[in-house]
């Protein structure tokens, strides 16, 4: 059994960046996905240079902040993306505009990081919530030959996606992980989405999911969780692991 532990939101704030690095350096996080349009992305890039074993994917974003491209169907009158909680009219969305915005974020990632991302996912489940975002991302993934969270793309093994940490405010996350360990054992490849962080002013004032990130960080760096994975013979990997890339096996 192989498990990818991916920390979302790299670049969102310095507290998030430091938390992700701590969860990687002293915990079980193997991978992160970068929000290339956020204000602390350059800080994230500098931290990543010091920790080259941390694999970095792209956290595509059409649900927070401002776009890189002109995409009038995706933004409000202040040129800010609609949040899913606003229940935007998806019929208005242009799939072409989503694709061009995703592609611009991909190109900016390469410019800043200096290499391709290991994989794609999206902020606030955009590609899982919006059918047009899903189709736009499939197109980009096929063009770039990269895997996508929660989807089976040609050339890559299926990676089962789990997100049971999120939405459990006030619940002991270590208990959840111990209770659900068999979910990973039932799959060959799995991904656990996590959000470790130190709470800073940005998270405190802007995010509805702030203090639970500290709890996640504590669990992800705990000796008990490391021991649990070892006892169940679950190997930690990332999306760039050659075993996931089926096209390499056929060459």
pLDDT (tens digit per residue) in 28-37 = 999 999 999 9
Band of pLDDT at residue 136, cut at 50, 70 and 90: very high
Provide φ and ψ at 235, rounded to 5°: -95, 130
Query: Distance (Å, rounded) from C-alpha 188 to C-alpha 185?
Result: 7
**Which is it for strands 55-60 and 31-34: parallel, antiparallel or unpaired?**
parallel
Per-residue pLDDT of 163-202, as tens digits, reads 988 766 656 778 888 888 999 999 999 999 999 999 999 9
Q: How far apart are CA 99 and CA 162, in angstroms?
A: 26
Question: Whose structure tokens read 């996350």?
Answer: 173
pLDDT, residue 91, reads 95
Residue 1, classified by CB atoms within 10 Å of its CB into exposed (0-12), middle (13-18) or buried (19+), is middle
Residue 250 has pLDDT above 50, yes or no: no
Cα gap 55→72, rounded to integer Å: 33
pLDDT in tens, 34-55: 999 999 999 999 999 999 999 9
**Count of C-beta atoms within a 10 Å radius of residue 8:** 25
Q: pLDDT for 79-94, tens place per residue?
A: 999 999 999 999 999 9
**DSSP tag of 73:** G
* Pair of tokens at residue 74: 């995706």
Instruction: Find, among 142, 146, 145, the residue nearest to 119 by Cα.
Output: 146
pLDDT tier, 210 (very low <50, low <70, confident <90, very high otherwise): confident
| Rounded Cα–Cα distance for residues 16 and 48 (Å) | 13
Alpha carbon distance 17, 105 (integer Å): 19
Q: Give Cα 221 distance to the centre of its chain.
A: 18
CA 230 to mean position of chain CA atoms: 24
Q: How far apart are CA 91 and CA 222, in angstroms?
A: 45
Q: Which of 181, 180, 155, 165 is nearest to 243 (CA)?
A: 155
**55, 238 Cβ separation under 8 angstroms:** yes
Q: Taking a C-beta distance cutoff of 8 angstroms, is the pair 49, 76 a contact?
A: no
Domains of the chain: 2-249 (3.20.20.370)
| pLDDT 10s digits, 71-125 | 999 999 999 999 999 999 999 999 999 999 999 999 999 999 999 999 999 999 9
How does the average pLDDT of the chain come out, rounded? 94
In the prediction, which pLDDT does 246 show?
82
Answer yes or no: are the C-beta atoms of 99 and 127 closer than 8 Å: no
Distance CA 240, CA 6 (A): 12
């Amino acid at each position: 059994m192989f498990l990818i532990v991916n920390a979302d939101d790299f670049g969102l704030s310095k507290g998030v960046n430091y938390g992700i690095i701590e969860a990687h350096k002293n915990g079980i996080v193997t991978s992160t996905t970068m929000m290339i349009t956020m204000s602390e992305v350059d800080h994230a890039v500098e931290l990543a240079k010091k920790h080259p074993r941390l694999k970095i994917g792209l956290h595509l974003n059409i649900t927070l902040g401002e776009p890189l491209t002109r995409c009038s169907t995706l933004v409000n009158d202040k040129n800010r993306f609609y949040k899913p909680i606003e229940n935007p009219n998806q019929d208005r969305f242009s799939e072409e505009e989503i694709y061009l915005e995703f592609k611009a974020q991909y190109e900016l990632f390469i410019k800043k990081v200096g290499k391709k991302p290991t994989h794609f996912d999206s902020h606030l489940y955009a590609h899982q919530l919006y059918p047009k975002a899903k189709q736009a991302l499939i197109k980009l993934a096929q063009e770039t030959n990269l895997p996508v969270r929660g989807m089976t793309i040609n050339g890559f093994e299926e990676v089962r996606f789990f997100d049971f940490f999120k939405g459990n405010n006030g619940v002991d996350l270590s208990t959840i992980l111990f209770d659900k360990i068999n979910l990973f054992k039932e799959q060959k490849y799995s991904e656990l989405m996590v959000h470790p962080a130190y709470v800073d002013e940005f998270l405190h004032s802007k995010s509805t999911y702030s203090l639970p990130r500290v709890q996640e960080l504590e669990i992800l760096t705990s000796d008990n969780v490391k021991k649990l994975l070892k006892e169940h013979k679950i190997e930690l990997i990332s999306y760039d692991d050659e075993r996931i890339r089926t096209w390499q096996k056929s060459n």
